[in-house]
């Protein structure tokens, strides 16, 4: 069943066509990775799906056009993990995760014990129950990303939008966060749409990829169809080797351009 259907999506920002005619759809429980060079329009596409920017074309979420839904209704169905979350440093992790319950409260309603319980179980689900009473400002990058993910989980939305969820993390924390997302997807039936910089992670975690360039869809399909040396060279201007291993999955390894390599040798 289709959770998200985007058709001929276009977004103008300050008169520039940032997303131009993108069509994609996402099955319930699927993980679609958006890849592409900086400025390709990945973040803007995510923002349009969350109804944070005006768009043309159509974005259908469980049968409803996003633009026709009230903001709170969108927030009940779509949780966003931004690339650089704004962290109020003095809030406790628990208070922060409870913010995820906002779309389920009235306009100025207060969270009740049920909301706090939901927030605590979201933290527990992300192996972060021990962080509940810590100040956000005292967390490491990986711990902070768990708190942000826990807030998204507490939001109880079926579609999770991740914008470069691992950009500021070390390799271990990156892997832990992506594994957590994969396990949430498996046991909560979450649908995931994520913009990803790291092509190896994109190939290993998403089950389908869309390569965007200049606001348009340049390629789409299963990871091994999109992550080819020609496509990466054409759209990123990067020389890479794509390795595929039955056990380790796909890996995209950057190669040092030959000219530069020779210069440094001499």
Phi-psi sector, 8: left (phi>0), alpha (psi -120 to 50), beta: left
Phi-psi sector, 25: left (phi>0), alpha (psi -120 to 50), beta: beta
Using rule CB under 8 A, residue 64 touches another protein: no
Q: What is the footprint of another protein within residues 148-167 (CB under 8 A)? A: 155
Per DSSP bridges, beta strands 56-61 and 2-13 are: antiparallel
Question: Quick one: 86 or 265, whose CB is closer to another protein?
Answer: 86
Least Å from the CB of residue 154 to another protein: 10
Q: Which one of 13, 54, 56, 109 is in contact with another protein (CB under 8 A)?
A: 109
Residue 144's nearest CA partner among 97, 110, 210 is 97
Token couple for 188:
């909560």
Using rule CB under 8 A, residue 108 touches another protein: yes
Token couple for 9:
């999506």
Using rule CB under 8 A, residue 90 touches another protein: yes
Stretch that binds another protein, among 2-10, 69-77, 234-242, 243-251 (CB under 8 A): 69-77
Question: Quick one: 164 or 213, whose CB is closer to another protein?
Answer: 164
Token couple for 77:
């169905």
Using rule CB under 8 A, residue 103 touches another protein: yes
Q: Which one of 15, 38, 63, 133 is in contact with another protein (CB under 8 A)?
A: 133
DSSP 84-96: S----TTSBHHHH
Least Å from the CB of residue 116 to another protein: 6
Token couple for 136:
């956000």
Least Å from the CB of residue 254 to another protein: 29
Least Å from the CB of residue 125 to another protein: 12
User: Is 163 in contact with 81 (CB distance < 8 Å)?
Assistant: yes
Question: Quick one: 85 or 214, whose CB is closer to another protein?
Answer: 85
Q: Which one of 4, 34, 128, 219 is in contact with another protein (CB under 8 A)?
A: 128
- Angstrom distance (rounded) from CA 2 to CA 12: 26
Helices (runs of H) and strands (runs of E) counted in the chain: 10, 12
User: Residues interacting with another protein, by CB under 8 A?
Assistant: 47, 50, 52, 71-76, 78-80, 82, 85-92, 94-96, 98-100, 102-103, 107-111, 113, 116-117, 120, 127-130, 132-133, 155, 176, 179
């Amino acid at each position: 069943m289709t959770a998200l259907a985007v058709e001929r999506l276009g977004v103008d920002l300050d008169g520039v066509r940032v997303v131009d005619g993108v069509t994609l759809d996402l099955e319930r429980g699927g993980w679609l990775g958006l890849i592409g060079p900086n400025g390709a329009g990945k973040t803007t596409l995510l923002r349009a799906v969350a109804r944070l920017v005006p768009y043309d074309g159509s974005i259908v979420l469980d049968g409803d056009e996003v633009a026709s839904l009230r903001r709170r209704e969108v927030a009940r169905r779509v949780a966003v993990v931004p690339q650089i979350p704004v962290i109020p440093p003095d809030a406790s992790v628990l208070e922060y995760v409870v913010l995820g319950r906002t779309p389920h409260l009235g306009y100025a309603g207060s969270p009740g014990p049920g909301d706090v319980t939901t927030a605590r179980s979201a933290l527990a689900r992300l192996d972060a129950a021990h962080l509940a009473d810590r100040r956000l400002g005292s967390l490491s990058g990986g711990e902070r990303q768990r708190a942000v993910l826990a807030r998204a989980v507490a939001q109880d939305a079926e579609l999770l939008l991740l914008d470069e969820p691992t950009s500021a993390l070390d390799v271990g924390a990156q892997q832990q966060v992506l594994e957590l997302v994969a396990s949430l997807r498996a046991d909560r039936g979450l649908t995931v749409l994520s913009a990803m910089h790291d092509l190896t992670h994109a190939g290993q975690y998403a089950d389908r990829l869309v390569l965007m360039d200049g606001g348009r869809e340049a390629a789409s399909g299963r990871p091994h169809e999109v992550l080819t040396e020609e496509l990466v060279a054409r759209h990123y201007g990067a020389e890479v080797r794509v390795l595929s291993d039955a056990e380790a999955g796909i890996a995209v390894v950057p190669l040092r351009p030959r000219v530069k390599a020779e210069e440094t040798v001499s």
